[in-house]
Amino acid sequence: MEIEFLGAAGTVTGSKFLVHNHGTQILVDCGMFQGFKELRELNWKDFPFDTKDINAVVLTHAHLDHCGALPLLVKRGFKGPIYCTEPTLELTEIILLDSAKIQEEDADYANRKGFSKHTPALPLYTTEDVERTLPLLKPVKLHAPFQIGSLTINYFSSGHILGAASVSVSNESKKIHFSGDLGRYSDPLMPEPEAPPEANFVVMESTYGDRDHSAVLSKDVLKKCILEITKSRGVLLIPSFAVGRAQNLLFEITELKKSGEIPVQIPVYFNSPMGLEVSKLYEKYHDFHRLGSGQFAEIMAEIHCVKTAEDSKALNDDKSGPKIIIAASGMMTGGRVLHHVKAFGSDPRNMILLAGFQTPGTRGHSLLNGAKEIKIHGLYVDINCKVVSSDSFSAHADRTELIRWLKSGPNKPERVFLVHGESLAADELRKRINRDLSLDTVVPRMGQAIAVN
Ligand SMILES: [Zn+2]
């Protein structure tokens, strides 16, 4: 057996691992590269394999950096099944359609405004490409092993977002366990990541391999920010992933109102049509999180859902506060949040709360590093509002939790491969695992093929 590390190697995005075994080839995740331009440009390159040779894709979860390149795979000739859990299947449909739409709109906008260096600016893939991809998605159950050629696949819950999974891939003699993205043990909504099964090799994420999250609860960070904008009568703008993060934020704000810790009358605007659809899936698949049936619908009944572009513009025209706006995308790479930053970013009464991981090269990362202006749609926008960041909202295990998860398996793996982390984070975790668990641990290079026999 051999693993080729074709993405998320030495970096966080573009997850793509090709497993070969006696003529069977499967791709574990097929994610989009995000962040720096040189990474994004990788999306336009041919895959380093023949798409027709791939038997199947095994998808861990619905985040774009794991599923976002599936339409490219199909556009370039792949016709096989794409396996995933039921919630992941429905989330992937929503996310890929949205991704195609954003790319089409961005290309269109760039062409109309003439600020793209490429003429004409093109989308990476279209809605049509996505529509050809969706029928290939096939639902699988957790803990129900199935066969792809000479390989056996088994899914385990990873806690990270709705439907997210770790995946075990084995041949007749060896087992590789892919962690996927691992959630936190104390997430308010998602269950704990399941312990890995027996495995010879573990391919583990390392997003936060070099640090522990703050011990301050996300609920308390929110409370502090909301009380501050209540006083300044400002706007609290929270750029958020529409999947996972947004639902956690809505849940915690509702809890704060219920307990009287923040004024109940502060309006909360959820400006993400995709996020709304996702929230319905949180209701439908309540078995996959900690809340009971009906509880998520109750939360959504109290939120102002912004549906049309006109409503979104009207929200920008009304400068009165206090109010809370949650809008995608989480790293401000696109989406409606950009228009809100243009509308509210220059007013010192307002506040932007960065509640998620910010990949280098994104606007969110620039703000995190104190940028006083950011470029949006070809123009510079002054940032005079307060910018607050917290890793308490993270949907990713931190260093201590990654090690806890690795130790929770029934055996000591022969080797651990660290992926899905910036080089520094992955290398720090490598040293820590070497030292504390005496496990052979490596950080594969992008494109590296490693035999696992
Ligand atoms: Zn993820």
Give the per-residue pLDDT at 419: 97
Same domain, yes or no, for 434 and 380? no
Predicted confidence (pLDDT) per residue in 274-288, tens digit = 899 999 999 999 999
Which CATH number belongs to the domain containing residue 144 in this structure? 3.60.15.10
What confidence score (pLDDT) does residue 110 get?
78
Determine what percent of the chain is predicted with pLDDT higher than 70: 99
| Distance (Å) from CA 72 to ligand 1 centroid | 19
Expressed in angstroms and rounded, the spacing between residue 62 Cα and the centre of ligand 1 is 7
pLDDT in tens, 310-359: 999 999 999 999 999 999 989 998 889 999 999 999 999 999 999 988 88
Domain finish residue from 371, 389, 407: 389
Largest interatomic CA distance in the chain: 65
User: Six-digit token pair at 442?
Assistant: 């490596």
* 34 in the same domain as 177: yes
Domain boundary among 389, 404, 434: 389
Asked if 145 and 181 sit in the same domain, the reply is yes
Kindly provide the b/e burial profile for residues 105-133, where b requires at least 16 CB atoms within 10 angstroms of the residue's own CB: ebbeebeeeeeeeeeebebbbbbebbeeb
Pair (78, 121) in one structural domain: yes
For residue 34, how far is the Cα from the chain centroid?
11
CA distance 232 to 321: 8
Task: Compute how many other C-beta atoms are within 10 angstroms of the C-beta atom of residue 317.
Answer: 7
Ligand 1 centroid to 190 CA: how many Å?
13
Strand 16-21 to strand 2-7: parallel, antiparallel, or no bridges (unpaired)? antiparallel
Cα–ligand 1 centroid distance for 263 (angstroms): 33
Mean pLDDT of the chain: 94
CA distance 259 to 18: 49
Confidence (pTM) = 0.89
Compute, in angstroms, the gap from residue 260 CA to the centroid of ligand 1.
32
Cα first-last separation, the chain: 6
Q: Are residues 380 and 420 in the same domain?
A: no
- Whether 62 and 46 share a structural domain: yes
Can you list the residues of the chain whose pLDDT is less than 50? Answer: none
Q: Do 373 and 355 share a structural domain?
A: yes
Amino acid at 27: L
Gap between the Cα atoms of 51 and 76, Å rounded = 7
pLDDT for position 11:
86
Give kind and range of the element (H or E) at residue 325. Answer: strand 323-327
Ligand 1 ion: nearby residues, β-carbon < 5 Å: 63, 181
* Residue pair 206/188 in contact by the 8 Å Cβ criterion: no
Instruction: Convert 236-268 into a string of H (helix), E (strand) and C (coil).
Output: EEEECCCCCHHHHHHHHHHHHHHCCCCCCCCCE
Distance CA 369, CA 360 (A): 10
The alpha carbon of 365 is separated from its chain's Cα centroid by a whole number of angstroms, namely 15
Are 382 and 339 found together in one domain? yes
Of 245, 250, 260, 268, nearest in space to 390 by CA: 245
Q: Are 88 and 57 in contact (CB under 8 A)?
A: no
**How many angstroms separate the alpha carbon of residue 164 from the centre of ligand 1?**
8
* Domain co-membership, 286 together with 427: no
233 and 281 fall within a common domain: yes
The answer to whether the peptide bond before residue 197 is cis (omega within 30 degrees of 0) is: no
Instruction: Say how many Å lie between the CA of residue 116 and the centre of ligand 1.
Output: 29
Tell me the CA–centroid distance for residue 254 and ligand 1, in Å: 24
Paired tokens of 60:
């861990």
Domain, as residue range, for 224:
218-389
Q: Ligand 1 centre from 63 Cα, in Å?
A: 5
Residue 117 alpha carbon to ligand 1 centre in Å: 31
Count how many domains the chain has. Answer: 2
Domain boundary among 389, 414, 435: 389
Cα–Cα distance for residue pair 61/356, rounded to 1 Å: 17
Which pLDDT score, from 0 to 100, does residue 118 have?
A: 67
> What CATH number does residue 234 fall under?
3.40.50.10890
Amino acid 298: pLDDT? 94
Nearest of 333, 375, 335 to residue 357 by alpha carbon: 333
In this structure, are 321 and 408 located in the same domain?
Answer: no
Does 34 lie in the same domain as 52? yes
pLDDT at 116: 64
